[in-house]
Amino acid sequence: MPKKEAKKKFKWGWADTVIAVSVILIALVGLTVYAGTVGKQQAQQQSDKVACENFNTALGNAYKTTTAKDFYWVLFRGAYAGIEQSREKTALNTDFSHLAELEAYVDNTTWDSMLITVGDATSKVQADCAVVLKASVNGWSSSIPHASSSATPSTPASTPSPTATK
């Protein structure tokens, strides 16, 4: 009867260590690439979404104020928060910046005349936010506040304004 050869006992060697470390490093590189492409993009989209939701809240609160000074103050604070929360060098961030820059031109002598300009800038932010929030424009609704050209911010416009709704 032929004799069976005894199996060699496994010994962990230098080559096995190199292979194990290489596999771990390749896995870490893959994880880093995934986190940098998919994970970061999702986090950035979430920050833009939060910026838009907070701006919509600020805009709604601005329309609840009783004076033009308070209206502008609340609106511009919302724009500054949007700048901080949204991704840099995006259309949304740029439009938040343009809206916030208008604060330098608004004072007690220009409140009424700047309302249309500020409203236009606010509408651009709202259009960007409609894309970020995946909202669709369905005619007339008041679920998302929006800029109006009414001379007094605390008085609702007599005609409904088109908005983006979820």
Q: Tell me the domain boundaries of the chain.
A: 47-165
Of 62, 102, 111, 59, give the one whose Cα is nearest residue 82. Answer: 59
Neighbouring CB atoms inside 10 A of 93's CB total 19
**pLDDT given at position 84:** 96
pLDDT tens string 133-156: 987 554 544 455 555 544 444 444
88 neighbors 44 (Cβ within 8 angstroms): no
Q: What's the rounded mean pLDDT across residues 8-30?
A: 91
- Average pLDDT of the residues in 114-139: 86
For the entire predicted model, the pTM comes to: 0.65
The pLDDT value recorded for residue 111 is 87
Question: Tens digits of per-residue pLDDT, 37-80?
Answer: 888 888 888 999 999 999 999 999 999 999 999 999 999 999 99
Return the SS3 of 10: coil
Confidence of residue 97 (pLDDT cuts 50, 70, 90): very high
Per the CB < 8 A criterion, the answer to whether 118 and 102 are in contact is: yes
What is 20-54 written as a DSSP string?
HHHHHHHHHHHHHHHIIIIIHHHHHHHHHHHHHHH
Q: Rounded to whole angstroms, how far apart are CA atoms 27 and 7?
A: 32
For residue 74, how many C-alpha atoms fall within 13 Å in the half-sphere facing its CB? Answer: 19
